[in-house]
Amino acid sequence: MRPVDPGKAREYFEAKMAFSTGPIETERMIRLGEDINIVDVRASEDYQEGHIPGAKSLPQDRWDSFEGLSKDKTNLLYCYSQVCHLAAKAAVHFAAAGYPVMELDGGMRSWREHNLDVETSRENVGAAG
């Protein structure tokens, strides 16, 4: 394997840090009351079974509604796991419409693997934000 170009590596990791975050960092943002809008782009049934506390549900069949998104704060999107690309697809769609977005690395699977709180109420289904 040839050495990686340090300049390209720096650009990649700067972009990664600007547009993604992990579950521990997200939990800390929630705990500290940082101004983020957490959006679950999984199927509604999966959201109802358990989601990140305070997350809004916006499954793929409702993406064009932009319901619950905010243009005034970062919309942190997540889906099922590290290999799920729904959140990335949603990020492209929402960013194209002018919404600031980031992706939660590892999705709900990683959140659960870190034993972080999970909310099961239907309180935020379809909530506008």
Residues labelled as active-site residues: 79
**The tokens of 47 are what?**
């959201």
DSSP string, 4-19: PPHHHHHHHHHHHHHH
**The tokens of 2 are what?**
């040839």
End-to-end CA distance of the chain: 47
Rounded Cα distance between 75 and 98, Å, is 11
Rounded Cα distance between 20 and 69, Å, is 17
Residue listed under structure tokens 């379809």: 126
